[in-house]
A = this chain, B = another copy of it.
Amino acid sequence: MIYLENIIQAGDYVLIVYGDRGRWLVQVKEGETFHTNKGFIQFDSIIGKPNGTSVLSSKENTFQIFAPTPADFLQKTIRKTQIVYPKDASFILIQTGIGPGSRVVEAGAGSGGLTSVLAYYVRPTGKIYSYEVNEQFYKKAQKTLARAQLGTFVEFKNQDISEGINEKNVDSVVLDLPQPWDIIPEAEKALKCGGTFASLSPTIIQVQNTVEKLREHEFGDVNTYELLLRPWKISIHKGTFVATRPKTQMIGHSGFLTFARKLCK
């Protein structure tokens, strides 16, 4: 996600934008071509151009080429049913205080989407310890982080986190697991005093179980939220008709976010 020179080079991942809906995250490959139904673009024509370049496709349509932000990366590299959305990933950051220098335990990595965002924000001195029991996801997540050029900030573990967390005194624990409540005793041991806990769950019964377990253990300041993102369509003036309005389609639910902090004496 980082262009030191702000110039597009072979091997970079770029976000290609067309109109309101076309968004692709692709790797720039010398001599190769990017195809859409609006025409093709030769990668060689954008290599050496700055971030923010506009190019014409073979069908004379304008495409814009950008360095991906963490939000682009999250929404576009990953094709699984339950991706972590940018709104949720960023709210986890600000609520837990995960930032430059933080040491964070995460499970499960899944395809590595949330891992990438966490890694991006703990740079340059922090570390993500990422547990993923499923070997296929474990490998996929490593690829995702390599793609984002953030692999050095993550230590991947193909382990079942319920069998124990190796790290001690970490700043935060972030869980995206089917049964997060099972990990709470381990999270308690791994966290420093006052350390922050976040869990992301799609269903309300998971939240119920997680919150009950947090209260049984030494956690305080337990709060649950959900975030609704509403995209708007902003129109250009045409006399009195300005069609500015919320967009018709909207994601009605991604997941519930539960936060807590470890208590100490």
Contact = CB atoms under 8 A, between A and B. Distances in A.
Interface of A: 1, 6, 17, 50-54, 64, 66-67, 69-71, 74, 86-87, 89-91, 93-97, 99-101, 117, 120-121, 123-125, 178-179, 192-196, 202-205, 207-209, 211-212, 215, 220-232, 234-237, 240-254, 256, 258, 261-265
Given A215-B236, A220-B54, A232-B256, A203 B264 contact: no
Contacts of A250: 250-253
B52 A220 contact: yes
A94 B72 CA distance: 9
A66 to B, nearest CB: 5
A51 B193 CA distance: 6
22 contacts: A51-B195, A53-B264, A64-B263, A66-B194, A66-B261, A86-B91, A87-B87, A93-B93, A93-B121, A100-B124, A178-B241, A205-B242, A208-B242, A208-B244, A212-B236, A222-B234, A224-B234, A225-B230, A230-B253, A231-B252, A246-B252, A249-B249
A264 B46 CA distance: 12
Nearest to A262: B52
Among the interface residues A69, A117, A208, A229, which one has the most CB atoms of the partner chain B within 10 A? A69
Nearest to A214: B234
A6 B86 CA distance: 30
Nearest to A237: B212
A36 B41 CA distance: 43
Closest 8 CB pairs of A and B: A250-B252, A51-B194, A52-B194, A69-B97, A246-B253, A50-B193, A90-B90, A90-B94
Contacts of A96: 69
Nearest to A256: B232
A50 B204 CA distance: 33
A14 to B, nearest CB: 10
A248 B253 contact: yes
Contacts of A234: 207-208, 211, 222, 224, 258
